[in-house]
Each structure stands twice: as C-alpha cells, then as structure tokens.
Structure 1
Amino acid sequence: MLPLYDVFMFGLTRSDYPLSSVSVAWAKEWAKTNRVFYIDRPFSLKDIRKEWHTPKFKKRLNALFLGKDTYKTIAVEQGDFVQVTPLLSLPVNFLPQGKLYNWLNQYNQYVMHRAIKKIIKDYQVKNYVYFNSFHPVICPFIPKQIQPYPLASIYQSLDEISEEPYIARHGILAENAAMQNCDIAIGTSTKLCERHEQTSHRKVHLLANAADYELFENALNKPLVKPDEFTRFTKPVIIYTGHYSDLRLDHELVKKITAAFTDYEILFVGTYVQEDIERHKLTEIPNLHFIGSRPIEQLPAYLKYSKVAIIPYKSNSLTAGIYPLKINEYLAAGIPCVSSDFSKDIAGFKEVIYLANTHNRFIDCLKQALLENPQERLAQRMQVAASNSWRMRINKLENIVEDFAELNGRIM
C-alpha cells in the first residue's frame, strides 16, 4: 500500500494558463486528496521582454530574480495546491544540438533541481511522486543525487512531439531519453503509446485525457448565467472550445461550416494567433466569431447555451496521436458533438458523438445533430463522461505507482 505522498507536477503549461490544461487538471484533482506542488515552467530571459508588463510576470519578480516568495497557494475546488516559481532560465531552444546547447541547458536543469530541493527542505517532504507532463527538455525525471528519491518519476507524452515545430527542435531526442529513463511512462492516446513502446522497448501506459465531470455537468444541472456574447447573438450557436491551432484545425472545413449554417453563429472560445485566422481569411466571415480564452469555470455556461459542439480537426500525423481534452467536457455537459474522425481514440466515442471522415459528411452530421433531441442520448453521454473523470485516471495511476514502488523497493 502506498504511504501518504506529495505530488510534484511539472509541465509545459504554467498553473495560471487560461485554458483547460492536462497538467493543471491532474494537479487540481490530486489536490483533493494529496499535497501538490505545481512547479511552473521557468520563465527565461527571453520572456522578460515579452511578459514584463503582464500581471503574471510582475507578481513573480521576487521569485524569478531573487529566489524569494517562491510559493503561492492556489485555491481549487475541495482543496488547494502550491504554485512554485523557479528562478529565471536561459533561452536555449534556438541553439542547434551540440556542446553549447548542452552546457547552457545544464543551468536550466540546475534551476529545476534547485526548486525541487527547496520544496523538499521547506516542506519537509518524505514521500513524493514526480510527474513531468510533456516537458522532456528540463528535468524529465529525478536524478539520483536528489534525496529523498521519489516513489516514482513519471513522464507523460501528450502529443506527437515531432509535429510541434518549436519543441521538436530538441524535444524529439529529449523525449526518447525521457521515455527510456523515467520510472513510469504514460501516453494520452493509443497511437502515442504504440509508437513509444516501439522506440523505447518498454511498457507505456495509456492514461487518456479526462474531464472535470462535476464542473461540466453544471451545464445541465444549474441555472448558469448566459454569457454576454449570447445576449448579443440573434441566432443559435455552434461552439468550439480550446486553442485554435493552425496545425490541428481544418480551416477549409470551418469555412464550409459557416457557409452551410448561415442561420447559426459559429463561436470559437479559446486562444488563437491573429495572423493565422487572417491568413485563412476567417476574419471576413460574418457568422464566425473568435472571442479569446475564458476561464475553465465559465465554459459550462458557454456549452449550456450552445446547440452543438464541434471538433473540426484535420486528419494528419499530429492529430492521429491526439485524445482531445474537450471531448469528455462536451459529453459531461450533455451537448451533442460532431467531430472529424482523426484518431483511433476519437473513433472510440462513435456511440455517443457524430463522426465524419469527409467535409460533406461533417456537414450532414452537423445537420443531424442540430435536429437531435438532446435527451435521447443524454444518459449514455453522461455515463461515458463519468467513466472518464480525472479521479478515475488518478486511481489508475496510483495502482501503477504502487506496483512499481513495491517491486523496486521504494516503499519503506
């Protein structure tokens, strides 16, 4: 049996990221039962110019430059976690592989190792699990010189790293090493697990993305206030939530949706790059709206007052390895969903969503979804969403950690 343990969470996403985030979701759920330290991705010297005037940067100045005021308690539902801000790091991604990159990146490793040692000392940590979510370049696992050693070092692969231009530069080699050297390797999609098992010659556990079921079922069970945008719309809404990624979203399909459903407002809630949507002439479409990100706590209201949710992804080598975070959020909210058939994992939802493998089929499915009585498949959707909660994922991972720790003598 596992002793009471703390969780050290680290990933690409910082704890105050405005959108749904896999690593933050794990932290929030774990915080209901365990003490959690969320180590934010270090800001680099490059970020000073870009982030200097932002509140999130200003509030971290003492921690970044002086190593003081490192901790901040973040309240979440049924608990809290400790946000940890490491010292400033060095911008090294632009460098080619080689001695200079390796030498400078050693400082970034030091920044993380220092933060971890400081947590252990300041909070008198005895037992802990280290979880690196898709940041293989910095501290993918805990080195032996850091004591006490964790019950397990976990590395999580979220996406096909070779298809993400920025992090692929050094991330491909780093992730291969992370997969081979961590104690427990996990992936969020079937394809990712299969590929990593082939290259690392080890077991890679499938722990797919999930949903905050209790939060998103509020779309059905609570009289949520209608978002301001909906009070201005005169037409019903078709919605997408999440980052509008130039690599994932099928721009031509989005255009066809707006043309086929002129009697609807097509609403994208999430971050986007202005140059991307302008390049594809999406800003010229009158019934297509990009409103930027909203806190995850507000998303149930947006889903409650929408007719159908869509996932109009391209079908390519990147999306083939994606298990979208949003799918279980849509199901928990009880809203009909139409998605491109882009991966093995999304195909597993065929009984509760509409799947389309062509543009024309997507339009036809969307027409069917808009005519559907949402109550007909509501219970089935809610059941699937409930089985894909973050608590279910943590329970599964705890069993994996316990087996590993007992087998390798990590439990004293």
Structure 2
Amino acid sequence: MTIDELKKLPIVMLSMSRWDSPISSASWSLAQEFAKSQPVFYVDYPYTFLDYRREKDLPSVKMREKALLGKGSLTKELASNLWSITPPLMYPINWLPSGIGYNTCRKLNNKKLAASIEAALKIHGLNEFILWNSFNPIYLSSFKSYFKPAISIYHSRDAIGAINDYTKKHGVASEIEAIRNYDLAIGSSTKLASDLSILSGKDVHLFANGGNIELFAKAWKETGAVPEEMKHIPKPIIGYAGNVCQRQDYLLLEKIALEHRDKSLVFIGPREDHLHTDIQLEKYPNVYFLGPKKLQQLPDYLRYFDCAIIPFLRNDLTESIYPLKINEYLAAGQSVVTTNFSDDIAAFKEVIWLANNHGEFLKYLSDAIANQGHAIKEARWKASKNNSWEIRVQSFWELVKYQLKIN
C-alpha cells in the first residue's frame, strides 16, 4: 500500500481523552486535523461499570447511556469526516495485581473494545483502517489477535509512570508492550522519545505537539467583547490556560499573588489543585478561577491577558512534556513567561521569557507585560506557524514513508 492510499483510509484513534473533555488534548486536535482529508473514528476513553455507577447522572454519561449499555448506536457524527465511537462498558480491572487474573480480564476488555470498533466500521462499510493509539496503552497494547490494520501507530504523550499511581500501576508495562507491538512508535517530546527508546529497545521517534494556529491568532487579529466573567477583573492580567494540576509550582503561584498584588492572576481550566497542594490560592483577592472553556472560546479570553504563564515544576513528569499551550499562547500573540522545565520548552527561548528560578520568573512578568504591540504579536504568531497541526500531519506522513519504507 502506498502513502497516497494510506491517506485515504479511515483512522481509528484511541485516547485517554474524550472528544467532549473540558480541556483540549493532542489526540482530539490531531483527529480534527486528519479529518480534513480522511475519515477519522475517535474512540471514547472507555467507561467501566464502576465509572457508570458513579457518574450515570452526569450529562456526558446520559448522552452516551444507550451506547454504553449496548442499546444504541456505537457511532456519532461530530463533523464532516469525523465520528466518535462509544464502546460498551468495560470491567474495572486496574485494582488487580499484575498476573493471570489481570491479563485474563484485560483480554476480555480488549475483545469487547475491538468488537465495538469492528462493528462501527462495518456500519460505515469499511474494512481497512489505520490504528492510532494515542496514549491509551491500557487498551489494545496487543491487538493482532483481534484485527489487522493497514498500519499501527503508538503515540506516547506523557511519562505515564510519573502522572499518578493509577496510571503507573499497569501503564508503564502496557506502554512498553504497545511500543513493541505497533508498527511505528512516536513520542511528543525529546526526552520522552529518548527514554522510551531505551526502555523498549525500539526506536521511538519525536512527534512534537502542534497547535491550532489560525484559531488562536484570532486573539490578536480580531477584536471582540470582553468575556462577561472578565469584565470585573482588574488589569493587568497574568493568565494561565490549562488544567491546574500536579504540574504547577504552587509556591511560585503564591509568590506571584503576593508580590504582584497590583496584577490579577487568572486561571482558565479545570481545578485539581486541592489534590496536590495545601496552598489555597483562592484566598488571595487578586486570584481568579474561571473554570474550563471550550477550545474555540479560548482566543476570546487570551485576547485580554497581558501575559501568559506556564508555571510548571521541573520533575520526571514535566521534563517529558511538550505543552500544547506554548504554541497556542504564541499564536495568540501572547508574551509568555515560563519555568525552564524541559529541553523542549527551552527551545523557544528566543521568543519567550525562560525563568530558571522564582526570582527570574517574578521579574520577567513585568517585562513581559510591557512588551506589547501589534508587530510583536505578529512576530510571536509567525514563530508558532511551523508548529501547526497541519505541519505536524505532513511530517507524520514523511515519518511513515521513511521509517516503514512505504512509497
């Protein structure tokens, strides 16, 4: 099969992120980009019977209920060339120790998942497909007894052993298994690709995250009303867009709130800070949490930031991160202040403020806020253009061509 023939095949993409997640993900962004030229079936991260019992009253579960219980359509058309697949409920098995019991139950789950994928494709009269596992090695790390895709891609997007105990328990071994079983393995950061190559004994190639460059460029190319939630927030605004989770340096964030009292610190995204720190940022009068927003809404908020921040710790997890938000921030024309948490973020040093310690970060905030203007915003946007998802997809096909020896 040639590259041109592969580019016409449907892509079946597994992920740990659902298509309607409150935060953007690389897998969902890639699915939308591929769907511009070929069919894509995005497989929802499976719900287990336990998930269903706990979450059955949530709108996101009610919307899927019939499919989860095997009583409704497996697929949902989300856009032109883009469908979701909702698998039936799976057995909750992560609590099991490694061994015969876990492996037997995992095979049962994989068989159910593979059957739902095949059934969904059959509905659409499709047989051949590309299998893309975007960082969900718990499912189908071994797939060859269930179906034979034209090519298979395993895509690692984080250091799975460093996220939390849940993902570490079975995720590390499953990811190595997936890398060895799939035709091509790719990693979203330099360190991640290198580490996984060593651990698996197989080449894992760099496939960096991209960004929806033209969407975020609306932040400076277009005008718009101040979002209602931001109208009462005093400027200047130091903003962060993304999950507030274990990656943040909470001591640094507290210092920002204290030492930049004349500025507002605004967070847009889901909050998990209470799980990772005793620091209560909401007690500071200049700190605002606006909750998660859809990707399409983010430019309207970034437009009114005076600078954007990536206040990550440097540890095993963050050293393996190429954050989506760096390309989104720059495409939005934002001045960016970030900690020096990885080699990949350091590669942007010419167009961002890269802080090696708290003192530098606090100083750079004022410098970044002062560094504005249309020409500067356009220059930042230009710096992000080569990192668009469109360019990433082009580079992916080049990688397939040379690594899998396909013409």
Give the structure 2 partner of residue 210 of structure 1: 210
Q: Residue type of the partner of 1:82?
A: W
Give the structure 1 partner of residue 267 of structure 2: 268
Between the aligned partners of 1:91 and 1:272, the Cα distance in structure 2 is: 25
Does residue 1:129 correspond to 2:130, yes or no?
Answer: yes
Checking the alignment, whether the CA contact within 8 Å between 1:141 and 1:153 is kept in structure 2 is no
Task: Using the aligned pairs only, state the percent identity.
Answer: 36
Between the aligned partners of 1:276 and 1:167, the Cα distance in structure 2 is: 16
TM-score (norm 1): 0.94
| Unaligned ranges ≥5, structure 2 | none
Between the aligned partners of 2:176 and 2:31, the Cα distance in structure 1 is: 25
Checking the alignment, whether the CA contact within 8 Å between 1:142 and 1:150 is kept in structure 2 is no
Between the aligned partners of 1:294 and 1:379, the Cα distance in structure 2 is: 25
Q: Residue type of the partner of 2:183?
A: D
Question: Which of 55, 63, 67 is matched with 1:63 structurally?
Answer: 67
Change (3 A) 1:55 1:40: same
How far did 1:331 drift?
0.5
Checking the alignment, whether the CA contact within 8 Å between 1:152 and 1:405 is kept in structure 2 is no
Checking the alignment, whether the CA contact within 8 Å between 1:151 and 1:401 is kept in structure 2 is no
Does residue 1:19 correspond to 2:18, yes or no?
Answer: no
Between the aligned partners of 1:352 and 1:28, the Cα distance in structure 2 is: 28
Between the aligned partners of 2:395 and 2:120, the Cα distance in structure 1 is: 26
Checking the alignment, whether the CA contact within 8 Å between 2:244 and 2:273 is kept in structure 1 is no
Please give the residue correspondences for 1:143-292 in structure 2 after superposition, counting only pairs within 5 Å.
143-146=144-147, 149-165=148-164, 166-245=166-245, 247-273=246-272, 275-276=274-275, 279-292=278-291
Give the structure 1 partner of residue 97 of structure 2: 96
How far did 1:377 drift?
3.3
Q: Residue type of the partner of 2:30?
A: W
Give the structure 2 partner of residue 293 of structure 1: 292
TM-score (norm 2): 0.95
Q: Deviations over 1:283-320 (max 9, x none)?
A: 21111111210101110011101100000111111111
Please give the residue correspondences for 1:21-100 in structure 2 after superposition, counting only pairs within 5 Å.
21-75=25-79, 79-100=80-101
Between the aligned partners of 2:118 and 2:404, the Cα distance in structure 1 is: 21
Between the aligned partners of 1:192 and 1:100, the Cα distance in structure 2 is: 30
| Unaligned ranges ≥5, structure 1 | none
How far did 1:403 drift?
4.0
3-state SS of the aligned residue for 1:377?
Answer: helix
3-state SS of the aligned residue for 2:231?
Answer: helix
Checking the alignment, whether the CA contact within 8 Å between 2:142 and 2:177 is kept in structure 1 is no
Equivalenced residues, count = 402
Q: Residue type of the partner of 1:317?
A: D
How far did 1:68 drift?
2.5
3-state SS of the aligned residue for 1:217?
Answer: helix
Change (3 A) 1:95 1:13: same
Greater shift in the superposed pair: 202-211 or 122-131: 122-131
Checking the alignment, whether the CA contact within 8 Å between 2:22 and 2:292 is kept in structure 1 is yes
Checking the alignment, whether the CA contact within 8 Å between 2:184 and 2:404 is kept in structure 1 is no
How far did 1:230 drift?
1.5
Checking the alignment, whether the CA contact within 8 Å between 1:158 and 1:187 is kept in structure 2 is yes
Q: Residue type of the partner of 1:296?
A: L
How far did 1:80 drift?
4.5
Between the aligned partners of 1:128 and 1:213, the Cα distance in structure 2 is: 28
Between the aligned partners of 1:202 and 1:190, the Cα distance in structure 2 is: 15
Change (3 A) 1:405 1:115: farther
Between the aligned partners of 2:302 and 2:381, the Cα distance in structure 1 is: 14
Between the aligned partners of 1:189 and 1:278, the Cα distance in structure 2 is: 27
Change (3 A) 1:220 1:80: farther
